[in-house]
Each structure stands twice: as C-alpha cells, then as structure tokens.
Amino acid sequence: MAAIGRFQKGDEVFYGKVVDGDLYKMKGDVFGSPSFLKKKTPWKGIKTLVPMVPSKLIAVGLNYADHAAESGKSVPESPLFWLKAPSSLLPDGGKIEIPFPDHRVDFEAELAIVIGRRVRNVTPAAAARYILGYTVAQDISDRDIQRSEGQNARAKSFDTFTPLGPYIETKIDPHGLKIQMFQNGQLRQNSNTSQMVFNCFELVSFISTNMTLLPGDIILTGTPPGVGPIESGDKLEVRIQNLTPLVNTVK
C-alpha cells in the first residue's frame, strides 16, 4: 500500500509517504508524479495533519440500505448529497467538540474518496482515473438541529465534525472493505463497503454531473447501520480494512 499523509514540522507543511511506520518526504506535486526521498524523516517534532485540504467537502446520505431503515427513511433513487464546511475537518488524534451538550450528537463511520484530477461529467467506468485514493472519515451529526431544520449542512458542519485521515491509500479497491466503528473499545458499526447502494465510482460520476470536482475534493460515501450518540470522554476509532485507523476523542 502507498499511504500518503500531510505533515507539519515547525513552519514547514509537507506531504510524505508512510511505509511500515517510516516516513519519507515527498518531492513534487501530490497530484502529479511525485517522488520520495530515500532517507527516512525522523518522527520527532512531526505533527500529522488532515491528509488533504479540499475546496469542497461533499457528504452522501442514506447510502447503506440498513442505515436508511434505522433512520426511518427509504433508500434514495439517486445519490443524496450535500456540502459540509471544510473548516469542520479534524485530524487523527484531534478532539471532537460538542457545541450544545444537551443535544444528541452521533458518530458516523465512513469511507472517504479523495479526488486526484479535475473532473466533470465522468462515467462510472472512467471514474477511477480521477481518484487519488481513499481515507477514513467520520460525519459527526447534531441530530437535534438536523431534525428541527430538515436539512444537513449546519448540523454536520460545526468545527471538528469531520475527522479525516490519517493517510490516503492510493492503491486499493474500495468496493469490498470491512468498515467498523469502535466506541470506547465496543464495536458499534460493522459492515462492508460492498453494501453501499451507490458504489464509489457511481458517486463520483453522479456528483461530477452536478459540479466540477477539483483535485483534493473529498466525498464522504455514507455510513452503515449502528450509528449512536457520543459524549465527553469517549474514544472513537474507525477501522476500514487495509487503511490506517482513525482515532479521535470527544470533549
């Protein structure tokens, strides 16, 4: 696997490749044909950032039939999506902040697509050519606001509401991956991306017919059944087969 991350040391922000726990700095453009230094970069003083800073953060809803059922909603005939604020992104290890402690706020484990090339009106068969890779995400949701307003943008766009990372896997088949969420060590969500109503290539195709996707844009592909509330002190870990786990805490 080729795990690409975004890192910071002092004032320097850079991309790098992580191989068996070792970090190698990238040379060149992450969206082009980059190369990597052969000398390992010491981890001391290195901070792991969100792996990408997108122009758009797109979330897909009700993309697992069982989750639609537990939400009391029918499966959409075409992908249902909305925009989240990129300022909601949170790196691996960061703390999810609950703005209204009296509201119900839920976890949602998701596979995220990272766009690698500008794309408009692509077919599902050609969509893979425009994908840089995949990473792990959560779509944290304030259910009180979501229910009262009848739309998703504000309920899911608070700062820290989109944990993402830590790395982008560039060589992986996204269509048969085990996806799990652990809350304080307890398994809460347990499914497979093969259960998506619309697979990753279909999502990229559909969304690209509605808007131009740019390099670095992120698509959250929906969550499986088992979503539940979070509270201060929780440790949340999303594990997706063959990807580095995403771990965050709640305050």
Tokens (6 digits) for 90: 């949170």
pLDDT score for 99: 96
CA dist 167 and 7 (Å) reads: 10
**Residue 79 sits in the same domain as residue 39:** no
Which CATH number characterizes residue 162's domain? Answer: 3.90.850.10
Of the chain, the percentage scoring pLDDT greater than 90 comes to: 93
Is this structure's pTM higher than 0.85? yes
**Residue 7 sits in the same domain as residue 62:** no
| Chain segment 128-160, per-residue pLDDT in tens | 999 999 999 999 999 999 999 988 999 999 999
User: What is the CA 225 to chain-centroid distance, rounded?
Assistant: 17
| Chain segment 6-36, per-residue pLDDT in tens | 999 999 999 999 999 999 999 999 999 899 9
Which band of pLDDT confidence, cut at 50, 70 and 90, is reported for residue 66? confident
Chain length of the chain: 251
pLDDT at 187 over 70: yes
CA dist 21 and 101 (Å) reads: 37
CA dist 231 and 89 (Å) reads: 19
Pairing status of strand 95-96 against strand 246-250 = parallel
**Residue 144 sits in the same domain as residue 207:** yes
Choosing from 30, 48, 66, the residue where a domain stops is 48
Ordered alpha helix ranges (H), 6-119: 65-70
**Residue 91 sits in the same domain as residue 127:** yes
Choosing from 28, 48, 68, the residue where a domain stops is 48
CA dist 114 and 116 (Å) reads: 6
Beta bridge partners of residue 16, listed in sequence order: 5, 25
pLDDT score for 68: 80
**Residue 156 sits in the same domain as residue 245:** yes
* Mean pLDDT, rounded, of the chain: 96
Number of domains present in the structure of the chain: 2
The CB-based long-range contact list for 180-185 (8 Å cut-off, 24+ gap) reads 180/109, 180/238, 180/239, 180/240, 181/107, 181/109, 181/226, 181/236, 181/237, 181/238, 181/239, 182/236, 182/237, 182/238, 182/239, 183/107, 183/228, 183/230, 183/234, 183/235, 183/236, 184/234, 184/235, 185/235
Region 181-188: mean pLDDT is 98
Tokens (6 digits) for 233: 């002190």
**Residue 157 sits in the same domain as residue 76:** yes
Q: Which residue has the higher pLDDT, 123 or 33?
A: 123
Which CATH number characterizes residue 25's domain? Answer: 2.30.30.370
**Residue 38 sits in the same domain as residue 128:** no
**Residue 29 sits in the same domain as residue 146:** no
| Chain segment 74-104, per-residue pLDDT in tens | 888 999 999 999 999 999 999 999 999 999 9
Of the chain, the percentage scoring pLDDT greater than 70 comes to: 100
**Residue 138 sits in the same domain as residue 114:** yes
- Strand segments (E) across 52-164: 57-61, 80-84, 89-90, 95-96, 105-107, 109-115, 131-138, 141-142, 162-163
**Residue 112 sits in the same domain as residue 148:** yes
- Phi and psi angles of residue 200, each rounded to the nearest 5 degrees, phi first: -60, -40
**Residue 124 sits in the same domain as residue 20:** no
Which band of pLDDT confidence, cut at 50, 70 and 90, is reported for residue 198? very high
Q: Where in the sequence is the domain holding 10, given as residue range(s)? A: 3-48
**Residue 123 sits in the same domain as residue 212:** yes
SS3 at position 235: strand
